[in-house]
Chains A and B, each alone.
Chain A
Amino acid sequence: MLLRLAPVAIVLLLVGPVLAGIAMAALPAFGYLPALGGETLTLAPWRALFAEPGLARSVLVSFASGLVTTAVALAVVLLFLAASTGSRLDRWIRRLVSPLLSVPHAAAAFGLAFLIAPSGLLARWASPGLTGWTRPPDLQLVNDPLGLALMGGLILKEIPFLLLMSLAALPQLGPERRMMLARSLGYRPTLAWLKGVAPALYPLIRLPVYAVIAYASSVVDMALILGPTLPPTLSVSILGWFQDPDLSRRFMASAGALLQLGVTLAALAVWWGLERLAARLGRRWLEGGGRRRGERALRLAGRSLIGVTTLAALAGLAALALFSVAGFWRFPDALPQGFTLQGWSRALPHLAGPVATTLVVAGAATLLALLLALAALENEQRSGRHPGSAALALLYLPLIVPQIAFLFGLVVLLEALGMRPALGLVIFGHLLFVLPYVFLSLSEAYRRLDPRWARLALTLGASPARVFWRVRLPLLLAPLLTAMAVGLAISIGQYLPTQLLGAGRHPTVTTEAVALAAGGNRRLIGVWALLQASLPLLGFLVAVGLPRLLWTNRRDMRGTP
């Protein structure tokens, strides 16, 4: 049966190339890369790596930003959900989640940098009136050596992701019943949520949380814009070595890529340890039975923290928009000397091709990913087993191995197989990164769907296929569309897979944006970042709007409010 082949297909089609790509990337770390004259195995690349100045610091910043970012973002999301009461403000924030999630990381980073830099928007508006500055102050606000600006930027971007994942998972838990029960036992609302709902929610969003750790500890684009510089994060260092005109540095770069893998795995392991610790401490807190203590502080934190981060993200977007039409803008003027549409008028004529390619690639990769994920999950449901789930775990490898190392290996592999760059390969490359996200967005919701629905339908005489189409899919419409929207956003944001697997022959909005960002023209950066953000937004609007449209008469099926 076709369905049973799905996990096999995933393994063969995707895990195989991933492993092969990694192997091809790992060999140079031990000195093997015949095209550069490396034909014997040696540990020299590792010695060179550990002799790099500032390596320890790079590793530390990458490791810390993985854990700190995730901890803060998760805390903000859980506190918000706990404190939210369905007020108008809360609903607004929930609605803003999708647009904020659709903003590509690089665009968000530029927005934040435009906002908080010493010559940024905030300083311009506060000067000289409040600060007395007539020239920008000589302060390290972005690119600070501790990576605080980088972590701040990552937190802004990961909060919407975790919030969306939580909102997609929540309806299956029946939070209202849990809340009612806890409230009837006398728990104040915020505590009731934290003690009654959060412990059940966390397992459902654990994979997304792990993805955030992996992402935050290995991110490149945001770290280039906001991260420390002397030395930069490990991922940025690796990119630099790969891009060094001195090709012999690639051996060391490959060793660095393996080290990055180790750093990310270490961050995941430490987090896993922290989970255990939190479970133990949390248990005592739960069993303590406190019904009021901390309620007010928690509620205040839940409201204000997300308010601040949402506001900061929006202000960053506003800064992008303002800079995209700004003429020359002298510090500390509150507004530019004039406005111009030059950036937009230059970009628009070149837009049609890249937008079309972006949509084709993102649409195809997302649909394929969705098909594969659904087939694998449905197969799991019917067979009652998790066949090859260990192999499926390898799907997440592309998220934790540095893209550049693994893609270089993959290009070598595909070339060796005689596959020439083509649109199909680009879609395939995107699929490698889209599938894990679609899978992790969907799998928990799928696996934890109340099995009694299906059983009921089966006892009424429906075939398994009919159960799938008529019961499971409709019930899962909201998480399905969310997974799709996430997949689209991931695909649209890809730069290296598009460039390397397509040999640059299939320009997308993102490749254009990244190429132009290298020139530093803020007007163009603003224009392309906004364009880049607007495409995934379409996906999210559909994801939010469609269930509301289809289920106008079924409140609990609408997913996000």
Chain B
Amino acid sequence: MPKPHFAIPWLALLAAAPLHAASPDADWQSILDEARGQTVYWHAWGGDSRTNDYIAWVGRRVDERFDIDLEHVKLDDTSNAVSRVLAEKQAGNHDDGSVDLIWLNGENFAAMRDNDLLYGPFAERLPHFPLTHPEHNPEVVTDFTLPTEGYESPWGKAQITFYYDGDALEAPPRSIEALLDWAREHPGRFTYPRIPDFTGSTFLKQALIALTEDRDALYAPVAESDFAAVTAPLWDYLDALHPHLWRSGRQFPASGPEMRNRLGDGELDLAFTFNPAEPAAAVADLELPPSVRSYVLEGGTLGNVHFVAIPYNSPHQAGAMVVADFLLSVEAQARKQDLEVWGDPTVLDLTRLPAEKRARFDTDDDHPALLPPEALGETLAEPHPSWMTALQDAWRERYVR
């Protein structure tokens, strides 16, 4: 991983705090000074009360420590924040926008970056950013194969995790191929969220990675390869799988949470999520039976990092940076990973953290529905974002009548 590039940043600095000195400490101090008293509007998906409570805690901490007033704008869909910034740009409001911080990744990041809606690079300026050790963990500076180039700062991790009702099912399928055989024997007990849902699209990618003969093609823009040839095994697979799915594949749940509800209702035996802690959290919340267990597929599952970014026209970029930096602190990351709080895996490189700090991440709760961190070791990288769009279009072309 290259060191932070200093070739372009004067442009960015121009937009941010006045730079008094070359030293990073002084630079950061001036940002802290500017951030004092600012109100930061953080647009973040608000569908999970545990996440919301965590963000509220972050708000209290940054108020105490940095005198920043953090307001969580709860979204039902991240695109609403993108819409807002887009409308402001369209109207020529280039310096007094209403969104200061966005929780996003993947396609939304790619879209905002493509349309110059983001401020940056800023990530390398955050004092806590080095704790992620990007030179050893390229995923914290890579978002669906796109280099983040400092335009977003890592916040947490996600990995496809399967879960099942241990009372209903003894041996869940451990691979994409085995899943088809299993579905044949257990008709109607598995499904995936309807495309273009995020979790559902990820299932397509997971299956494609397992089935295609040209895996390398997935890590370059889709235009550079023969889409039909690369994806042919996937469609054969889905054509064979669909008749054995829930509702015979004529209907799909709207989202990952809906799929979870179906499992809780006993309609499904097997489901999956992007948040490894979700099954355990759902058991604690009395949404899933205590008999739920989770696992990952052999050969690994897709994983990615989610980030926070700052719109190009945010008037509180200093405050937003201070919040982004606090999110990377040991204090905030350890609390976020605590299953009692949220259970979202940390983006810090624990192996390179001093022992006493690492201890804060130790979990004494071995929840039966929660996988130990080692089990999540094998992570498959996300394909280039253009594949997601192409797969979604092809899927709709094929299965929407």
Contacts and interface: CB of A to CB of B under 8 A. Distances in A.
A556 interface: no
Nearest to B92: A416
Task: Identify which of B45, B47, B75 gathers the most chain A CB atoms within 10 Å of its CB.
Answer: B47
Nearest to B198: A245
A59 to B, nearest CB: 14
Interface stretch (A28-36, A93-101, A431-439): A28-36
A140 B250 contact: yes
Interface string B82-124: 1110111111110010110000001110110011000000000
A512 B74 contact: yes
A503 interface: yes
Given A135-B267, A244-B196, A505-B41, A518 B88 contact: no
B49 A521 contact: yes
A511 to B, nearest CB: 7
A467 interface: no
Contacts of B196: 240, 244
A328 B286 contact: yes
A421 interface: yes
Contacts of B172: none
Contact of B261 (A135, A243, A507, A520): A520
B287 interface: yes
Given A35-B89, A35-B90, A230-B194, A136 B266 contact: yes
Interface residues of B, number: 71
A520 B90 contact: no
B401 to A, nearest CB: 6
Interface string B215-257: 0000000000000000000000000000000111011101111
B263 to A, nearest CB: 11
A412 interface: yes
B254 A229 contact: yes
B82 to A, nearest CB: 7
B46 A521 contact: no
A357 interface: no
The secondary-structure label for the interface of chain A is loop
Given A138-B247, A229-B194, A247-B86, A331 B74 contact: no
Contacts of A421: 98
A520 B262 CA distance: 11
A291 interface: no
Contacts of B289: 328, 330
B261 A522 contact: yes
A245 B111 contact: yes
Which range holds the interface residue count of chain A?
35 or more
A415 B79 contact: no
Given A54-B400, A518-B257, A119 B266 contact: yes
A242 B83 contact: yes
Contacts of A492: none
Contacts of A242: 79, 83
Given A511-B74, A518-B257, A229 B265 contact: no
B48 interface: yes
Contact of A521 (B73, B106, B285): B285
Task: Identify which of A136, A328, A421, A520 gathers the most chain B CB atoms within 10 Å of its CB.
Answer: A520
A276 B73 CA distance: 50
Contacts of B84: 411, 500, 503-504
A504 B10 CA distance: 32
B316 interface: no
B399 interface: yes
Contacts of A136: 265-267
A307 interface: no
Given A242-B79, A504-B73, A516 B250 contact: no
B288 interface: yes
Interface string B22-51: 000000000000000000010101111100
A338 B287 CA distance: 12
Given A412-B91, A524-B49, A247 B257 contact: no
A549 B256 CA distance: 51
A275 B87 CA distance: 42
B76 A53 contact: no
B252 A516 contact: no
Contacts of B401: 53-54, 57, 230-231
A412 B90 contact: yes
B176 to A, nearest CB: 23
A242 B265 CA distance: 32
A245 B107 contact: yes
B356 interface: no
B98 A505 contact: yes
A57 B46 CA distance: 33
Interface string A407-435: 01001111110101100000000000000
Task: Identify which of B91, B93, B287 gathers the most chain A CB atoms within 10 Å of its CB.
Answer: B91
Interface string A86-98: 0000000000000
B108 A328 contact: no
A520 B47 contact: yes
B71 interface: yes
Contacts of B257: 518-521
Contacts of A517: 47, 76
B74 A507 contact: yes
B319 interface: no
A523 B286 CA distance: 9
B345 interface: no
Contact of B46 (A34, A342, A518): A518
A521 B256 CA distance: 11
Contacts of B48: 519, 521
A109 to B, nearest CB: 13
A326 B48 CA distance: 18
Nearest to A518: B47
Contacts of B246: 138
Contact of B76 (A244, A327, A515, A524): A515
Given A35-B86, A230-B251, 17 more contacts: A34-B90, A54-B401, A119-B265, A135-B266, A140-B247, A245-B79, A331-B265, A331-B267, A338-B286, A342-B285, A408-B87, A411-B87, A412-B90, A415-B90, A500-B84, A507-B74, A520-B255
25 contacts: A53-B396, A119-B266, A136-B265, A138-B248, A138-B267, A224-B254, A230-B399, A230-B401, A242-B83, A243-B79, A243-B80, A247-B115, A326-B286, A338-B286, A342-B286, A412-B90, A412-B91, A500-B87, A503-B99, A504-B73, A504-B80, A504-B81, A505-B73, A518-B77, A521-B287
Q: Which 4 A-B pairs have the closest CB atoms?
A: A520-B257, A519-B47, A504-B73, A415-B91
Interface of B: 41, 43, 45-49, 71, 73-84, 86-93, 96, 98-99, 106-108, 110-111, 114-115, 188, 194, 196, 246-248, 250-252, 254-258, 260-262, 264-267, 285-290, 389, 396-397, 399-401
